[in-house]
Structure 1
Amino acid sequence: MTEKLPDDLRILLVDDEANILRSLQRILRKEPYDLVMAGSGQAAIEVLENQRIDLVISDARMPGVDGPTLLSTIRRRWPWVIRILLTGHADMNSTIKAINDGQIYRYIAKPWDDDELRLTIRQALAFQYSERRRLALERKFRKQNKQLRALAESLEKKVDARTTELQETADMLDRTLAELRNSYVTTTEVFSSLLNQRLPGDLQTNAKVSALVRAFAQRQDLDSEQTRNLEMAAALYNLGKLSWSDDMLRAPSDQLTKDQTALYRAYPTAGEQLLMTLEPLQETAHLIRHHQERWNGRGFPDELEGEAIPMGARILRMAVDFIELQAGLILSRKVSREDAIKLLRRQSGRLYQPELCEAFAVMCEESAPDLAPTEEGVIALPTRELTAGMVLARDLHAASGMLLLNEGKRLTKSLIDKLIAFEKGEPEGTRYTLFVYDPEEPEEPLMEASIQ
């Protein structure tokens, strides 16, 4: 045997003849087994009920409970016990019954060979030990497999929970970033309104330029980030003019002196430099720097040509020129809206990208002069007809050009009361019209409003 058996194996010998039991005991006395004797089948059952037995050798013919009946009982009640039948040549029917009902390991015919008997017992016990180890390993495997499944389920739940937590964190960061970006847009609009305080109402261009680029960005299907950067650039494009004198601010660019022209050509870079320290406004600053470049490469400050000019800067240039032509800030005379569109088309291919210029001109022809929102669900109301919960669809500026409320703000009752009071304090005849989303239309969640 290659595998060492346990030291506490116990064999039950069953026979109604004492001399047979003694003979078996003699044969097995040197084997490492504990031997237990029983003189009948019933006595054997009582032993099994009170002791652990590993193997039973039973004679076939016994009064009362015979061998096959005993072994069949043992199979049902103690199935792990190895069963061997001792039988004579005339006991074939008993042997068959033991094989069928008792499912014996082996039968040994009388008279037996001592060595063969000992070998049979060793093989039977080795088989039993091997089966017990196999079953134990199976139980251990099933237990470990169950534990692994439970662990896997636990880990999966933890991963799901952690994934949900991370997704919620990511969503929160996205919302925070969106709010931060919106706050930068609002800040630029407020700052732009402060710039306008140095100019009379008819020369305040930022809000009109912003409305133009926003409308054109929608037509060109620019993504939200490009649109946001372009809107902020439109609100701050003349930031570099802060150092100009009041007279120069009001003068058309074609009437400037040589020194003033040099200052004029520096205002895009001056505006960029003022924004360079603000990380979220880097792209905005880049657009401001290049919004006076020309499609033919003869603009300033870097003489960029064609598509080397950022797309946002190309759009901003057209919007600025279109508004400033009408305000009298480019030519010595104010240009009508229709003539401004013609002048833009005339400079197509020289100052502006041809396809972009034509699309922009078509939009200006099709839009109302103030570019009021015309999308579905937007209505125009005076201050006294506003109700709490309405959401602004367009920035609201005071007559002085100062930004009062920015697009996307939700109106409250106290805010509406403030607007009405503010309107009363304006020069006589001043009335404000607000463009708001129809309250019957579904609204997206927006920030609560506060007057600037």
Structure 2
Amino acid sequence: MSAETLPSILFVDDEPSILSALRRLLRPLPYRVLTAEGGVEALALLEREPVDLVVSDMRMPGMDGATFLEQVCQRWPTVQRLLLTGYADMDATIAAVNRGEIHRYVAKPWEDQDLLLALRDALSRRQLAEENRRLLALTQEQNDALQRVNGQLEQRVRERTAELEQVNGMLEKAYAQLQDNFMLSLDVFAGLLELRDRGSAGHSREVARLAQGLAQELGLPPRDQQDLFAAGLLHEIGKISLPDSLLRKPFSVMNAEEQAQFRRHPQVAEAALMPLAALQRSARLVRAQLERLDGKGVPDGLQGEGFGFAAQALALAVEYRGLLGGRLSSRPHTPEQAQALIAGGAGSRYSVTVVQAFRELMARMREVPPEDLCIDASALRAGMVLSRDLMSERGTLLLARGFHFDAQAVRKIHDYVARQGLRLRLHVQPADAETRPVALAER
């Protein structure tokens, strides 16, 4: 062990013989011994040398031990302090204890072993205190490092959370766009089906809207409402298998063989739609469009709870729009006549609850007529909302009611009118109307 690393003890006494005796006592021991003959000399030495323990006499000229040790306590508080005194002066000892905060005092003449034990004990306390300070500093440093790491981690978590929220927002937007595009595809496909039957343009969309409105009136969950809307758009897809002559013939004037052939179209539709996972629930609703609550419907004879509210909503919408369009009899029915026939089917064709929901929906639609403005296409501006379906000359859907026009959509309409040389008029309403944009068919 080098001299610099040995524990340092500073002895302060105005008698050189005392200092010499102390050097001789500690010479065999692993201590670095420093001496000073007064307080002023000792303070100067402390400013130059690292010291672990100060052992001071009490009675010294110029600066007594109490004053000297007080200075050491104030300027080097970690240095251990012992008082070595040959006077039985209790007041001086108390002053040294109070002012210099000494850890122990040893009386002169001393017993060598007692003094050595006192020195060893003081140096041990010094070492323990230093180790404690080192550990506290290390702990503080580690805590500071941990706080920095936690702060960095929290920042990374916030940044990652913000990224995930942004990604989730983009995914939700993309999913909503995908859903709109999917419904648009169904809408366009339904319009293509209706090209076979001139005069029926928009029929499937009206069935879809009525079925969805009934589902809302009945408090069915959003998933059922969406399935019903898709089922309404595609409820006639099975009619692809029917010949044109039968397609345009009202049900009431068909013969028995034709009616049997007609009644099979829901099964054909279900078979066509079932491979599409997103439409399997809608496909089952389409299959049940000709069922009845009393079990006399086709193809499965469903009855009671087996013919649920969602299926009844679609069946009722199909019948009501069929009555208005002259699809079920040789002449079209007025809304009042059609509603009366629907009401007459309560308890047999449909549950009383479903029929009551239909009555309330119709009453509300009469009470709140749509407010719109008919404008020329040239007057169309971004922010307007389409209040009625926009159909082409051939009866196909161009824009669905509730579509919100942005600048791009307005340009498309203007381009379409210019290309076709048309004078197109649209029914629009305020942009804050509570209608959901459904689809845009680019033609």
CA contact (8 A) 2:238 2:269 kept: yes
Whole-angstrom distance in 1 between the partners of 2:374 and 2:118: 106
Change (3 A) 1:364 1:159: same
Change (3 A) 1:325 1:445: closer
Moved over 6 A (4+): 442-448
Whole-angstrom distance in 1 between the partners of 2:429 and 2:211: 21
1:340-371 alpha-carbon deviations (Å, 9 max, x no partner)? 22221222111111111122134335545xx9
Matches within 5 A, 1:27-426: 27-201=25-199, 205-364=203-362, 367=365, 374=369, 378-384=371-377, 386-389=379-382, 390-406=384-400, 407-410=402-405, 412-418=409-415, 420=417, 425=422
User: What is the DSSP-based 3-state SS (H/G/I as helix, E as strand, rest coil) of the residue aligned with 1:242?
Assistant: helix
Whole-angstrom distance in 1 between the partners of 2:393 and 2:350: 32
Whole-angstrom distance in 2 between the partners of 1:151 and 1:294: 68
1:370-425 alpha-carbon deviations (Å, 9 max, x no partner)? x9x846xx523133574211122443223532101123241544344356558965
CA contact (8 A) 1:56 1:82 kept: yes
Amino acid at match of 1:10: S
User: What is the DSSP-based 3-state SS (H/G/I as helix, E as strand, rest coil) of the residue aligned with 1:349?
Assistant: coil
Change (3 A) 1:362 1:29: closer
Offset at residue 242 of structure 1 (A): 0.6
Whole-angstrom distance in 1 between the partners of 2:426 and 2:312: 32
CA contact (8 A) 1:423 1:432 kept: no
Amino acid at match of 1:292: L
Whole-angstrom distance in 1 between the partners of 2:102 and 2:360: 101
1:22-54 alpha-carbon deviations (Å, 9 max, x no partner)? 222233233321212222222222321222111
Change (3 A) 1:394 1:108: farther
Q: Does 1:25 align with 2:23?
A: yes
User: What is the DSSP-based 3-state SS (H/G/I as helix, E as strand, rest coil) of the residue aligned with 2:106?
Assistant: strand
CA contact (8 A) 1:392 1:409 kept: yes
Amino acid at match of 1:438: P
1:427-446 alpha-carbon deviations (Å, 9 max, x no partner)? xxxx7542x3314x489997
Q: CA RMSD for the aligned pairs?
A: 2.9
Whole-angstrom distance in 1 between the partners of 2:339 and 2:10: 115
Q: Does 1:437 align with 2:437?
A: no
Change (3 A) 1:287 1:374: same
Mean Cα deviation higher: 210-219 or 224-233: 210-219
CA contact (8 A) 1:386 1:416 kept: no
Offset at residue 449 of structure 1 (A): 5.7
CA contact (8 A) 1:10 1:35 kept: yes
Offset at residue 83 of structure 1 (A): 0.8
Percent identity between matched residues is 34
Whole-angstrom distance in 1 between the partners of 2:206 and 2:154: 55
Whole-angstrom distance in 2 between the partners of 1:204 and 1:52: 99
Amino acid at match of 2:376: T
User: What is the DSSP-based 3-state SS (H/G/I as helix, E as strand, rest coil) of the residue aligned with 2:264?
Assistant: helix
Change (3 A) 1:39 1:394: same
Offset at residue 451 of structure 1 (A): 3.6
Amino acid at match of 1:322: Y
Offset at residue 20 of structure 1 (A): 1.0
Whole-angstrom distance in 2 between the partners of 1:451 and 1:190: 10
Amino acid at match of 1:108: V
User: What is the DSSP-based 3-state SS (H/G/I as helix, E as strand, rest coil) of the residue aligned with 1:13?
Assistant: strand
Whole-angstrom distance in 2 between the partners of 1:31 and 1:219: 100
1:186-227 alpha-carbon deviations (Å, 9 max, x no partner)? 111111111111112158632332342344344344444333
Change (3 A) 1:59 1:446: farther
1:215-250 alpha-carbon deviations (Å, 9 max, x no partner)? 434434444433332222111100000121111101
1:274-313 alpha-carbon deviations (Å, 9 max, x no partner)? 2223332222222212222211223222222223234322
User: What is the DSSP-based 3-state SS (H/G/I as helix, E as strand, rest coil) of the residue aligned with 1:156?
Assistant: helix
Change (3 A) 1:296 1:114: same
Whole-angstrom distance in 1 between the partners of 2:11 and 2:300: 111
Whole-angstrom distance in 2 between the partners of 1:243 and 1:231: 23
Mean Cα deviation higher: 356-365 or 132-141: 356-365
Mean Cα deviation higher: 381-390 or 177-186: 381-390
1:319-346 alpha-carbon deviations (Å, 9 max, x no partner)? 1111112323223443333222222122
Whole-angstrom distance in 2 between the partners of 1:211 and 1:242: 22
CA contact (8 A) 1:201 1:400 kept: no
Change (3 A) 1:110 1:209: same
Amino acid at match of 2:389: D
Q: Does 1:15 align with 2:10?
A: no
Unmatched segments (≥5 aa) in structure 2: none
CA contact (8 A) 2:180 2:438 kept: no
Whole-angstrom distance in 2 between the partners of 1:197 and 1:280: 25
Partner residue, 1:3: none
Unmatched segments (≥5 aa) in structure 1: 1-5
CA contact (8 A) 1:27 1:114 kept: yes
CA contact (8 A) 2:377 2:426 kept: no
User: What is the DSSP-based 3-state SS (H/G/I as helix, E as strand, rest coil) of the residue aligned with 1:381?
Assistant: strand
CA contact (8 A) 1:82 1:105 kept: yes
Whole-angstrom distance in 2 between the partners of 1:294 and 1:417: 48
CA contact (8 A) 1:252 1:330 kept: yes
